[in-house]
Structure 1
Amino acid sequence: MAGLLFVISGPSGVGKSTLRKEVMNRCSGLKYSVSCTTRPPRPGEVEGVDYYFVTPEAFEEMKERGEFIEWAKVHGNYYGTPRRPIEEWWREGFDVILEIDVQGALQVKKSCPEGIFIFIAPPSLRALEERLRKRNTDPEDEILLRMTNANLEMAHIKDYNYLVVNDDFEEAVQRLCAIIIAERCRIRER
């Protein structure tokens, strides 16, 4: 049986990475697709674990060869999800989890409408801004851009199958695990 596709997205700073990592610790049989980006690595990020860091020229070449299942320009940098590993994992029967921005999720939904789309939302936009500031990774203009984009991204909640509010971390993890378990148990037409 081919694997499932779980797509987790939401505004920058909402906690997608932290949630995804914990869900992968608790739910077996998931493969995480590492995205490519043209942005520089943040402190502590590891090549091939957090992202594949590529030049804008290399990204353009990959895009032209159709190597991405989705790609988008977000906050001035390109991000894209390589197609090949996902297709290989599906053939092997693994479920794949993507952690991508809202633009990318909407692209994936067009090409993989059978995917399970999960929107991670902050408890409030004020709480999201506080999280972005506490990260200490972005200058003020970048934070303002991320908050502007968050307002636009929140309007797309209706395009998702599930909504998980990341107010209480443990509760959010449990809800994500419950979604994965429920989707794995669902009877699907073959």
Structure 2
Amino acid sequence: MPRPPLAVPKNNPRAIVLSGPSAVGKTTVMRQLRAEHPELSIAPTVTTRPMRPGEVDGAPYYFVDGPTFDRKIEQGEFLEWAVVHGTFKYGTPRSEVDQARAAGRSVLIEVDLQGARQIRSTMPDAFFVFLAPPSWEELVRRLVGRGTEDEKERARRLQTARDELAAEAEFDVTVVNTDVGSVCRELVVLMGSSP
């Protein structure tokens, strides 16, 4: 099946939604995009999970406690939010996405499958990109190799990954993460910036 054209016209700023299973490399891709293209609009994430070593509040996550997150839900501050892996809450601040688009810039949003589905219903003009692993075995290797989860959490994430991989057809395009640089170049084109 031919892939759709990837370029987004500059006069049509869109939300570009990037999703895929745990350990597929979303965070690595986003980190490289931020380093190489600081001019790109990338939506931050608010989460209730604790900071990992080396993370700083506000770059790219805002870390809040449960009651604060719940207040933000009640006040309608999230474009999407979800409980991920049955444990922590993650959400995308609506105001950051709206501000970028109002300024004429496309904005990249990294979310899990639940978040992508919410955005599809609340922002139907968004463009959805599924980041896929080269193979199931490679996904398992990446998850185990990063060493950030215990065995129980890895098993939970692998089960979630199976469900997420089954939803690939819900997305507008699939990008296979065999090379982070190539994925970043495709996303830059999608956002309407020069590669």
Q: TM-score over 0.5 for the alignment? A: yes
| CA displacement 1:34-75 (0-9 Å, x = unmatched) | 111111011111111121111111111110111100000001
1:153 aligns with 2:164: yes
Deviation above 2 Å: which 4+ runs of structure 1?
20-30, 168-181
**1:141 aligned to which of 149, 152, 164:** 152
Deviation for aligned residue 1:106: 0.9
1:31 aligns with 2:41: yes
Preserved CA contact (<8 Å) 2:106 2:191: no
**1:164 aligned to which of 166, 175, 180:** 175
Moved more, 147-156 or 15-24: 15-24
Deviation for aligned residue 1:98: 0.5
Moved more, 40-49 or 161-170: 161-170
Give SS of 1:20's match.
Answer: helix
1:63 aligns with 2:73: yes
Separation in 2, partners of 1:97, 1:128: 23
Deviation for aligned residue 1:29: 4.9
**1:83 aligned to which of 94, 97, 105:** 94
Q: What is the aligned partner in structure 2 of residue 13 from structure 1?
A: 23
**2:138 aligned to which of 105, 127, 131:** 127
For residues 35-46 of structure 1, what are the structure 2 equivalents within 5 Å? 35-46=45-56
| CA displacement 1:59-102 (0-9 Å, x = unmatched) | 11110111100000001110001111211121111111101111
**1:3 aligned to which of 13, 16, 24:** 13
Aligned length in residues: 183
| CA displacement 1:3-29 (0-9 Å, x = unmatched) | 211111101111112212334555575
TM-score with structure 1 length normalisation? 0.89
Closer, same or farther in 2 for the Cα pair 1:90/1:137, shift >3 Å? Answer: same
Deviation for aligned residue 1:176: 2.8
Separation in 1, partners of 2:58, 2:48: 13
Residue 137 of structure 1 aligns to which amino acid in structure 2?
T
Deviation for aligned residue 1:110: 0.7
**Aligned-pair identity (%):** 38
Preserved CA contact (<8 Å) 1:29 1:94: no
Q: Which structure carries more helix by proportion? A: 1
TM-score with structure 2 length normalisation? 0.86
List gaps (5 residues or longer) in structure 1: 186-190
Deviation for aligned residue 1:2: 5.7
Q: CA RMSD, aligned part only?
A: 1.9
**2:185 aligned to which of 174, 179, 182:** 174
Deviation for aligned residue 1:115: 0.7
Closer, same or farther in 2 for the Cα pair 1:169/1:85, shift >3 Å? Answer: closer
Give SS of 2:16's match.
Answer: strand
